[in-house]
Amino acid sequence: MNKISTLPSINEITLLGKACREIQGFEELYRRFERRMQVQKRSESTKKNYALHLAQISLHFGCLPTVLEVDQIEDYLQGLILKGTPSDSYFKHIVYGLRYLFRLEGLNDKRIELPKIKHDKKLPMVLSREEVKALVKHADLLKHKLLVGLLYGCGLRCGEVRAIRLRDIDLGRGMLLVRKTKGNYDRYVPLGSMLVRGIQQHIESTGATDYLFTGSDFDSRYSQRGVQWVIKTLAKKAGISKDMTTHTLRHTYATHLLEDGLDIVSIKELLGHAHIETTMMYLHIAKTGRKAPFCPLDKLYNQV
């Protein structure tokens, strides 16, 4: 069997490498798994998360997940729940990774009864306009100001802002082509004059020729961890106590657009949502309507 060049860590001391060395048949199973995910154009992060969880399960039982009995898998999942799973996302990747593997190996879905994932119904945290300004103000580097500006001003996901290439930026029209990362289509979002000026200055000062933001990642892009560090650091400097992430700026973008009068269908297209139901949650956050919501306590004391 020919070695796949995208598996540089197979001989390293990692969870995946350990499973390949210690579990009979895991390396061959992983190669089939990786090949299918590449053909289906699944993201690198999804492939990595699924593979690591499959390696962990294999090492836990000392065999491939495909030979486990139903009750063994259920006991494993129940054990994670009882011990306190690190996050809903962590548990989701375990379940989805198993489901993907079973389909790949042609196993009957009814043979493996995996629990359904309950979708999170919590509303996302959003920033005020003053808090967004504070993030920009406390960014000393133009690169960091642009990161905040693009995440908030264009509603980009972390992976999308890292993937911006110069060829996708139309400074003349003030538009950015966002290549598909989730969903099934590309989309255009307006940049606005401030971002156009900032991008021009950034390109001139850095001499960028391919990616707008470069770093030490495997393909020369700015790393995901790097982007997240910038946002966390700026939030701390700005004195923002909210538990925010890069995605908080995307939620804030959608909420502020809605509050400024943009219709929900247009916001759906700008965000790249596949279903309008996903976008509808912002109706529960934004201060919209014939009269803006207010606190009755203020009205009681004539403050509104």
93 a catalytic residue: no
Q: CA 166, 176, 255 angle in degrees (round to 5)?
A: 140
The answer to whether residue 282 is catalytic is yes
Question: Is 182 noted as a catalytic residue in this protein?
Answer: yes
Pick the catalytic residue from 47, 157, 251, 256: 157
Where would I find the beta strands (DSSP E) of the chain? 169-170, 175-178, 187-190
Judge whether 35 counts as a catalytic residue. Answer: no
Q: Which amino acid appears at position 127 of this protein? A: L
Name the catalytic one among 36, 187, 237, 247: 247
* Half-sphere exposure of residue 220: CA atoms within 13 angstroms, side-chain side: 8
Mapped onto helix, strand or coil, the DSSP state of residue 143 is: helix
Which residue, chain included where needed, has tokens 């400097």? 237
Q: How far is CA 154 from CA 164, 178, 249, in A?
A: 12, 10, 9
Cα distances (Å, whole numbers) of residue 175 to 128, 152, 187, 201: 25, 15, 10, 16
Number of neighbours of residue 291 by Cβ within 10 angstroms: 7
Catalytic residue (one of 48, 129, 179, 182): 182
Q: Of 221, 250, 256, 268, which residue is the catalytic one?
A: 250
Tokens of residue 250, six digits: 């995307």
Catalytic residue numbers, as ranges? 157, 182, 247, 250, 273, 282
